Amino acid sequence: MIRTDVLIIGAGAVGTAIARELSKYQLKVLVCDKNDDVGGDASKSCSSCVATQATLTPNTLEQQLRLSSHPMVLQLCEDLDIPIHRCGSLTVAVSPEQMSEIPSVLDRAFANGVWDNEVLTREEILRMEPNITPAVLGGIYAPRDAQINQFLMVVAQAENAAENGVEFLLDCPVTGMEVCEGRIQSVTTPKGTICATWVINAAGLYCDEIAKMAGDCDFSMHPRKGQFYVIGKDTSVKVEHIIKSIPGESGHGILISPTVDGNLLVGPTAEDLEDKSDHKTTRSGLEYVKECAHRLVPELCFEDTITQFAGLRPAREPDGYHIRLSDRVEGYVEISGIRSTGLTSSLGIAKYTIRMMEQAGLPLRRKSDFCGRRKGIVSFADKTDEEKNTLIMGDSLYGRIICRCEQITESEIVQAIHRPVGARTVDAVKRRVRAGMGRCQGGFCSSLVIDILARELSIDPAEIRKRNGKSYMLYGKASAQSFEEQDAAKSHC
């Protein structure tokens, strides 16, 4: 039996933000996640935009948390060395109907207390973004909108929380709860039974399933899929700002965003589904993204695409942010409906949740030795030749390039493995240091990364996975044994 003061279910943006916030206090905190790595489901496959989101309905909890979180995210990036690209956004009108919407979009921004948005003329927009369609009529500039490295935002918080005493149990799905006399007695996982005074449900798309286990569920969750293209750094047609279309009947439309690493992220769609495991991209979804993007930037080169992916927003029915203490089950906290703004709002959600718990009796005594700072892994690719030489002199593994596309060295990969909450899979390495994120998408470096993981973790290369579940990448040693024999041997194990 594992005992803890607080159990957080889910290591996405919300769960790790809460974990880091709680690590400031004298509490035993445990985070468990069904995935092999921190980073969440929705959190790792979102648009990565830290936006002021002037268009949300004023005075909702979502809008309040979103707005209050924005400066906290900027501070977090400073404290934890998280890459952020403070590029601003341009919301552009390309038809007279969209032009007529501009005053109401601006009014909404002002009603939300977002005072720094500015209306720009066609000429001003074309000066700022020469690749925008000549059909543009005008638009709104939001100077504080930014693109963040969403993987590192979560990883950095998890690392910092772990440095301050939080424990992480990964590959560890919560499968059941025993509730007795209005209290959760225990939480069942494959890694043991957990007994916690407080249980926080931050399971994103799956939080209805956790709520059912707790015996307090009056809502349901479904995925709202968003499909994206990632266009390579070397593409000839780029944008400097996040480009959006004026929100219309079909929603907020798609974004064309310059990422922190110099790629372009184009998408997402918004498709309501039932299947929570449907991460497939579809021809129709991608065609829709391309069509919308070309209306904004007609010359955008989709031929330079390096990958496509889909993320699932955790959509709630009834919708809206729901952050509450259960009135049926003592010590159970539900965080649901964090659908499409949660990366930005996660820091506000963490503060709000912990304050609510404190008011209900959670004792918050600050630790005297909390360290709120973290340094990221030094990136070889970003350095001058002289700095590169210095790095190699200090650690010869900086002298061996593993990922040719992104110029990632063996040292960076080894560091990613040995940090707190370190990488255990090929994708976990990729998210931390970008090995495999370039044009060849790991075609060259995956086998080298497998070798390094196996060596550093002292396990057989055949046991290294790409990510969750049984995503093994190697069959076994090439030998006289046929593939069928090896297969039979594996399934026998």
Ligand X SMILES: Cc1cc2nc3c(=O)[nH]c(=O)nc-3n(C[C@H](O)[C@H](O)[C@H](O)COP(=O)(O)OP(=O)(O)OC[C@H]3O[C@@H](n4cnc5c(N)ncnc54)[C@H](O)[C@@H]3O)c2cc1C
Binding site residues, ligand X, CB under 6 A: 9-15, 32-35, 40-43, 45-49, 173-174, 202-206, 210, 226, 268, 311-314, 338-344
Residue 98 or 227 having the CB closest to ligand X:
227
Radius of gyration of the chain (CA): 23
Residue 398 or 432 having the CB closest to ligand X:
432
Q: How would you classify the pairing of strands 332-336 and 192-201?
A: parallel
Residue 45 or 409 having the CB closest to ligand X:
45
| Among the listed residues 196, 213, 180, the one whose alpha carbon sits nearest the alpha carbon of residue 7 | 196
Residue 431 or 446 having the CB closest to ligand X:
431
Q: How far is the CB of 327 from ligand X (least distance, A)?
A: 22
**What 3-state DSSP class applies to 183?**
strand
| Among the listed residues 279, 260, 263, the one whose alpha carbon sits nearest the alpha carbon of residue 271 | 279
The H or E element containing residue 111 is helix 96-111
Residue 259 or 344 having the CB closest to ligand X:
344
Q: How far is the CB of 434 from ligand X (least distance, A)?
A: 20
Q: Under 8 Å CB-to-CB from 173, ≥6 apart: which residues? A: 32, 34, 189, 190
Residue 166 or 450 having the CB closest to ligand X:
166
| Among the listed residues 227, 230, 258, the one whose alpha carbon sits nearest the alpha carbon of residue 90 | 258
Q: How far is the CB of 460 from ligand X (least distance, A)?
A: 26
Residue 224 or 409 having the CB closest to ligand X:
224
Residue 357 or 448 having the CB closest to ligand X:
357
Q: How far is the CB of 410 from ligand X (least distance, A)?
A: 29
Residue 187 or 403 having the CB closest to ligand X:
187
Q: How far is the CB of 67 from ligand X (least distance, A)?
A: 12
Which of the 8 DSSP states describes residue 283?
A: H
The H or E element containing residue 177 is strand 176-180
Q: How far is the CB of 477 from ligand X (least distance, A)?
A: 33
Residue 213 or 437 having the CB closest to ligand X:
213
The H or E element containing residue 376 is none
Token pair in block for residue 381: 């690719």
- In the block, which residue shows the tokens 């060259």? 444
Within the chain, how many helices (H) and strands (E) appear? 13, 22
**What Å distances lie between residue 156 and 79, 147, 419, 456, CA to CA?**
10, 16, 10, 21
**What Å distances lie between residue 407 and 221, 266, 386, 399, CA to CA?**
41, 24, 16, 11
Terminal Cα-to-Cα distance of the chain (whole angstroms): 28
Residue 97, classified by CB atoms within 10 Å of its CB into exposed (0-12), middle (13-18) or buried (19+), is: exposed
**What 3-state DSSP class applies to 311?**
strand
Q: Under 8 Å CB-to-CB from 30, ≥6 apart: which residues? A: 2, 4, 6, 7, 8, 166, 167, 168, 169, 194, 196
Report the DSSP beta bridge partners of residue 325: 333
**Contact between 98 and 247 (Cβ < 8 Å):** no
Q: How far is the CB of 346 from ligand X (least distance, A)?
A: 6
Q: How far is the CB of 193 from ligand X (least distance, A)?
A: 14
Q: How far is the CB of 92 from ligand X (least distance, A)?
A: 18
Q: How far is the CB of 134 from ligand X (least distance, A)?
A: 28
| Among the listed residues 216, 440, 396, the one whose alpha carbon sits nearest the alpha carbon of residue 322 | 216
Q: How far is the CB of 34 from ligand X (least distance, A)?
A: 4
Token pair in block for residue 372: 């709120």
Residue 251 or 394 having the CB closest to ligand X:
251
